[in-house]
Structures are given as structure tokens and as C-alpha cells.
Amino acid sequence: MAVVSARGLVRTFGTGRAARRVLDGTDVDIAAGEIVAVLGRSGSGKSTLLHVLGGLDRPEAGVVEVAGERVTGAAERRLSALRLRHIGFVFQFFHLLPELTGEANVLLAGRVRGAHPDAAARGGALIDRLGLRHVAASLPHQLSGGEQQRFAIARALVNDPALLLADEPTGNLDTEAGAQVLALLRELADEGRAVLLVTHEAGAAAIADRVLRLEAGRLVPA
């Protein structure tokens, strides 16, 4: 059974003659334990696809389900709860709160209402697992890019999501740190999560089970 399933997604930006349809009947399914990489040129709609699948953006048409729950058409309160329970986000720009330590950034995700009951213990275990304990008390500006991204991944995993959405997660990293993050994403998928990796780097897609390309608003085999 697919962890995330999307059918007929349509998303347009602009109006009139300037309108550009970046998703045009897009379909995709991702199963537990599977990494799907989506390639495409800059501006092709890769990030839009990720945002629609994760409920951060609403399509004009189509249906998205995550972990058997309908994302499209859900009220904002229900959508927030669904994202909290089932979806982890990892972005190119790490989005760590600059005034909080790396550990505090991770644990903050487990303190919101509706968080996983074991989130605090899980957050601490993730920091240890990702080799971050020695820098857990550091502020983001004191961390390397690779360390910041690993903290961001730990934060995304605090509530044990079934789906991990990664938008250019190696885009701000050097080659070595990028390789470590990609290996970690592969490991997380092998534990049973569904992972969607959006990237413009063909090398990053090497960890994927399937590689798709977004062309003219549709996903096709790369």
C-alpha cells in the first residue's frame, strides 16, 4: 500500500497569458521503504509538487492521500494535525531557529500540541544516532552545513512520520556532507519510511529506488 498517493494534480501560477501550469495531471505513488527521486530543471515545479503532497500548498485539482488520510480539501486544523503525525519535511535551507541550540530545535518539534508522546526521548536518541551529541548545545551559526542539515533531519523525524519529503537537501552542502545526508535518507527509507527526494542533481538520485523527471507538469521515468 502506498504511503502517499496523488492523482491528477493541477497547479497553476499567474493569470491570463502569463499563467504557467507547473503541475498538469501529475500522478505519483510512494510505498513504505521506497525512495523516489524527482529531477527537473529549475522552475519545473519540483518544489511545488513536494509542497502539494505535504499539504503546504493546495492544488486546483487532484487528490492527495498520506497514510490513508485525505490531504486535499482538508480544513487547516486537520491538515496541521495530519502533517504533524505523518509527514516530515527537510529543506535546502535548514530553517533552524537561530536563537535555539541544535538540540532545542529538535525537541521543539515534539512540544507542540498533538506531538508523539515519546517525542522528547526520541529527539534525544536521534541526536545521538546522528552523531550530534558533541554539538547539541551549539547554536546554528556555530554548526557546519552538514551538522545543521542533520539536526533538521532529526527534527523532521521526532514525531516518527511515515513520509519524509526532502527538497534539495544537499543543495547547500559540500560533497562529503551531502553524501552523508544522502546515505542517511537511504537508511531511513530502509527502516520503512517513504521518502520523496526532490533534486536537480542526478548524482543525488543515485540512492533512489525510482527516478522520475517532471516535464510539462507530468512525472515520467528519467
> At residue 116, does pLDDT exceed 80?
no
| Mean pLDDT of all residues belonging to the chain | 92
Q: With cut-offs at 50, 70 and 90, classify the pLDDT of residue 112.
A: confident
Whole-number pLDDT of residue 17: 82
Q: What is the pLDDT of residues 133-147, one digit of tens each?
A: 999 999 999 999 999
Whole-number pLDDT of residue 171: 87
Selected residue with higher pLDDT from 119 and 148: 148
Total length of the chain: 222
Phi/psi of residue 31, nearest 5 degrees: -90, 160
Whole-number pLDDT of residue 14: 83
pTM for this structure? 0.92
Distance CA 88, CA 157 (A): 6
- DSSP assignment letter at 142: G
Phi/psi of residue 86, nearest 5 degrees: -120, -15
> At residue 113, does pLDDT exceed 90?
no
Phi/psi of residue 35, nearest 5 degrees: -105, 125
Share of the chain above pLDDT 70, in %: 100
> At residue 196, does pLDDT exceed 80?
yes
Q: What is the pLDDT of residues 19-50, one digit of tens each?
A: 889 999 999 999 999 999 999 888 888 999 99
Residue from 109, 222, 132, 117 nearest 181 by CA = 132
Domain ranges of the chain: 32-58+75-221
Give the H or E element holding residue 122: helix 119-129
For 32-58+75-221, CATH number? 3.40.50.300
> At residue 114, does pLDDT exceed 80?
no
